[in-house]
Amino acid sequence: MGVIAWIIIGLLAGWLAAKITGSPRGLLRNLAVGLLGAVLGGFLFTRLGVQVVPDFWGELITAVIGAVVLLVVWEAIRRA
């Protein structure tokens, strides 16, 4: 996938994760959360042995799940 596709997936994943967790922020934070979530989701799916179809929707689902996990862990750390 190209860089533009990663940015689009990152933005969408960050925005969706912010809506799911109820912590909406700005455009750049959503992009960062989405991109980090994609890396985290890919790592978690590899460790768990989950295989996702390597297309736009598979990558988006992986990134959203990773971003939601990232936001939940981040909020737990902030509240502790």
pLDDT of residue 32: 85
Of residues 70, 54, 52, the one with CA closest to residue 16 = 70
Count of CB atoms situated within 10 Å of the CB of 48: 8
* Dist. CA 36–CA 29, nearest whole Å: 10
Domain count, the chain: 1
Range of the domain at 43: 3-79
Q: What is the pLDDT of residues 19-57, one digit of tens each?
A: 888 877 778 888 888 888 888 888 888 899 988 888 888
24 Cβ neighbours under 8 A, 6+ residues apart? 15, 18
For the entire predicted model, the pTM comes to 0.85
